Structure 1
């Protein structure tokens, strides 16, 4: 396994830093405490000034459940838990995050997505959006180019452009075949090999690729292990970084069984699914697991598996890059909320108590408890996926062939594409007007009582993606129960029927 110390990483990757980042330095006016001294330097209130004595968080046994049957309570007070009490978590804390939660994040990474080199670290940030902003602040100047999947979470585009950088779309294969879906590696290679004579020759060659490699937003596609290897080889050949955003990686969907539509591998009574099997066979391994050069920056979040309002996530990268991300925090946001860190850590610690007898090390018990929770969340999303598919496939508009379903492999989203007539497709200007058509479809869906996202509005370059942007994105995450998902799908079916009926007039 390659091993990199900080100085070698600094020497190798300093050239990727933006001009602004090179000038960011925190001017310190204090010294770290030495020995048995009375603290009279830092402007920190004593914990006695905090108006909170204790916090009890009653832990649910499963998604949509009430407090756990065995009465799990994550208790926090000024002295407990001993490694992260309120006297610490309500105080100013280290910008990189408090050590107990950081230790858990590192352990989680090592057990599920172990980096392929020594010399990596993790730091906490205030949600993935904050992490991405800081990463692109570190990397991007006005002459920087970043590649992205042709459809992506649009605030990330802004995170690059606000630094003055440029974004370039990479074509995707919107396929149901797990081996094919995601980034079109052949077209990506052709674009990079012929950069100086291609459509983006006026831009510098890319400094980075941004990708949601698993359960991609908005398409739900997942890059296969083989495609990840191919893309990594391109990164080595053309010397760019890979910024891997992974908010949905734990929400893996087993294949949908049309003959048994409610079959759920997570919930079967006789299932042989264990946490280790879930990790080994369900989860697609991160780019960091093949990263022998230390060129991957990975972002993982607690938003989708715990709660987004806590605004808590972490960045995994080589120690030089994590140091630069922390440095930006030192002069901007400082540390993520100590209360958020304490709630996440203490709840996971409480979940781990169920496994305390199995492990000598408490952090291993915490890992087991957290993975058990991840599986329960993934199982509930799989149930929602099944309910949505079954309901969509039962609509008259689907039976009439008015739309097709792009079945996702992971995540929170399902994409639906109108099925255009041969007469429509034969028109030379059909795709020139596709956005107008999709706006009309959207109006019909709203009239039917359902809110969706139009695919073209998540395109990096609408003109470049006009032949594939004719889809809508729906989420299975927010509905309050299965009945509401069924009702929403029926309304979607009605909206498609109305859209095609009015086109025939």
Structure 2
């Protein structure tokens, strides 16, 4: 399908916030296009001279995976021989590519949309993978997903507006929304993501459920490897969700930092005569790039005909959080308003980060970039499997099955969730009488959290991620939640930590 056959995105100006509508372009920034013209005599902006820039050269070294198949990547990692023979080296000056960002551009004030070379690479990547289906989509470089969300809240929301969230949500997202005095309404989730019936019911019966609370302008989702729950929204729900949001004229923010950390289905271990049996095997059916892409879930971009989906992407989980680099995909109309906000806040994302990331991507090429994601798939699959195998092994060995429930194994991301059946704790009935239903979960959550901390184990409290419902805040008083991660922990520490967890649960419940 060519772009000539596609429609432009709808206008969503009627959903913009008062702040957004009152903001225009920064006049001096509109002149930056002339700075890039070598024939221009640019006397109009206060820009330091390039001969006074402190940095004259940037170099890097990374793996070069272009010539490896998925099976070769998997074999090297599984066999504990993570020594890829090929590397890509970049020296931004001495071996400069036409696609490199010049140092004098990277270190200078610049276009807050992002450097053109990086934007061009990412647009090809997006077309190859997410395949947007309207004409005037675009991308904008930013400082990552958290900043992207904060920007969008300012673009669309006034104080006392309403946003729909999953009933568990990343704690920083909750704080960002709360700081802007925006109301939240949670939508229930199960092991396959948000429950469509709950979304439909609340929107259809809004006045009955929420009275005078403003109807929502935005829904925010983490579809893959949900933080904190670890679940992935199944593809067969996405079209129905999109149709509902279209019916009620709601913008969807698709925050998907774990998209390329998708993994095959996990199989629980079995135990025979107390012997542990790992049921997971290496993948054998990824022979081509298309095989790999077919394993991945679909983005809402692939069904968005209106331009009402805004997708947040981040390099943090793929290249390192310190890059502080990400990008937004959406309609040009919406991104233009984010750009205007950038001009008076972010100005532009780090030119040095863009230079380094762009230099690496253009030396890898699209194939190398895709193979990097294949490597992430293998490594994260190993980490997840080891973590959950250890968890189930210790649950079995300490005989605490009736006290612990593990959320369905994550198919993406870096988080897993554990539920403790606090109603079986020997002090539960007494504490319920003393504290009441409103405080009972908090009491046991704090109890276990402090016990874990005393034993040098950190698991995040479930309450940190709980989205309160302004009218119907129903809490399950029989359990408390704990979030764990397997991302940056060595196998030894992971196993020891989960053994500490199981031992404390055993002691407390017995």
Instruction: Name the TM tier (shorter chain).
Output: 0.7 to 0.9
- Partner deviation per Cα, 1:211-268 (whole Å, 9 max, x = no partner): 1011111001111112111111110111111111001111112112325637354xx5
Q: Alpha-carbon deviation of 1:497?
A: 1.8
Report whether the alignment pairs 1:138 with 2:155: yes
Native 8 Å contact 1:150 1:465 kept in 2: no
Going from structure 1 to structure 2, the CA distance change for 1:160 and 1:330 (only over 3 Å counts) comes to same
Native 8 Å contact 2:422 2:444 kept in 1: no
Question: Counterpart in 2 of 1:103?
Answer: 120
**Structure 1 regions of 5+ residues with no counterpart?**
176-180, 353-365
Q: In structure 2, what is the Cα distance between the partners aligned to 1:452 and 1:59? A: 33
User: Which of 208, 213, 223 is the matching residue for 1:197?
Assistant: 208
Report whether the alignment pairs 1:438 with 2:449: no
Report whether the alignment pairs 1:458 with 2:454: no
User: Which of 38, 47, 51 is the matching residue for 1:48?
Assistant: 51
Superposed, which structure 2 residues align to 1:32-431 within 5 Å? 32-33=33-34, 36-60=39-63, 69-77=85-93, 80-83=96-99, 84-173=101-190, 175=191, 181-198=192-209, 200-257=210-267, 258=269, 261=278, 263=280, 265=282, 271-281=285-295, 283-350=296-363, 352=364, 366-395=365-394, 396-397=397-398, 399-406=400-407, 407-420=409-422
Q: Alpha-carbon deviation of 1:114?
A: 1.2
Report whether the alignment pairs 1:490 with 2:505: no
Matched residue count: 471
Q: Alpha-carbon deviation of 1:103?
A: 1.2
Going from structure 1 to structure 2, the CA distance change for 1:39 and 1:385 (only over 3 Å counts) comes to same
Q: In structure 1, what is the Cα distance between the partners aligned to 2:331 and 2:384? A: 36
Q: Alpha-carbon deviation of 1:308?
A: 0.7
Q: In structure 1, what is the Cα distance between the partners aligned to 2:7 and 2:21? A: 21
Native 8 Å contact 1:60 1:67 kept in 2: no
Native 8 Å contact 2:400 2:505 kept in 1: no
Question: Counterpart in 2 of 1:355?
Answer: none
Higher relative contact order (CA 8 A, sep 6+): 2
Q: Alpha-carbon deviation of 1:27?
A: 3.8
- Partner deviation per Cα, 1:169-196 (whole Å, 9 max, x = no partner): 11112x3xxxxx2111101111110001
- Partner deviation per Cα, 1:7-29 (whole Å, 9 max, x = no partner): x74xx210110001111123414
Native 8 Å contact 1:142 1:163 kept in 2: yes
TM-score (ref. length: structure 2): 0.86
Q: Alpha-carbon deviation of 1:448?
A: 2.6
Q: In structure 1, what is the Cα distance between the partners aligned to 2:149 and 2:424? A: 43
Native 8 Å contact 1:432 1:466 kept in 2: no
Going from structure 1 to structure 2, the CA distance change for 1:56 and 1:436 (only over 3 Å counts) comes to same
Q: In structure 2, what is the Cα distance between the partners aligned to 1:465 and 1:419? A: 17
Going from structure 1 to structure 2, the CA distance change for 1:450 and 1:349 (only over 3 Å counts) comes to same
Going from structure 1 to structure 2, the CA distance change for 1:334 and 1:444 (only over 3 Å counts) comes to same
Q: Alpha-carbon deviation of 1:159?
A: 2.5
Q: In structure 2, what is the Cα distance between the partners aligned to 1:425 and 1:120? A: 57
Q: Alpha-carbon deviation of 1:78?
A: 8.0
Going from structure 1 to structure 2, the CA distance change for 1:425 and 1:321 (only over 3 Å counts) comes to farther
Q: Alpha-carbon deviation of 1:121?
A: 0.5
Native 8 Å contact 1:388 1:476 kept in 2: yes
Q: In structure 2, what is the Cα distance between the partners aligned to 1:386 and 1:3? A: 43
Instruction: Output the aligned Cα RMSD.
Output: 2.6
- SS of residue in 2 equivalent to 1:131: helix
Q: Alpha-carbon deviation of 1:297?
A: 0.7
Question: Counterpart in 1 of 2:19?
Answer: 20
Q: In structure 2, what is the Cα distance between the partners aligned to 1:150 and 1:170? A: 5
Going from structure 1 to structure 2, the CA distance change for 1:399 and 1:27 (only over 3 Å counts) comes to closer
Going from structure 1 to structure 2, the CA distance change for 1:186 and 1:209 (only over 3 Å counts) comes to same
TM-score (ref. length: structure 1): 0.87
Going from structure 1 to structure 2, the CA distance change for 1:470 and 1:273 (only over 3 Å counts) comes to farther
Native 8 Å contact 1:169 1:461 kept in 2: yes
Q: In structure 2, what is the Cα distance between the partners aligned to 1:425 and 1:297? A: 47
- SS of residue in 1 equivalent to 2:259: coil
Q: In structure 2, what is the Cα distance between the partners aligned to 1:24 and 1:67? A: 52
Q: In structure 1, what is the Cα distance between the partners aligned to 2:21 and 2:388? A: 50
- Partner deviation per Cα, 1:255-295 (whole Å, 9 max, x = no partner): 12325637354xx5x553433212112x1111111111111
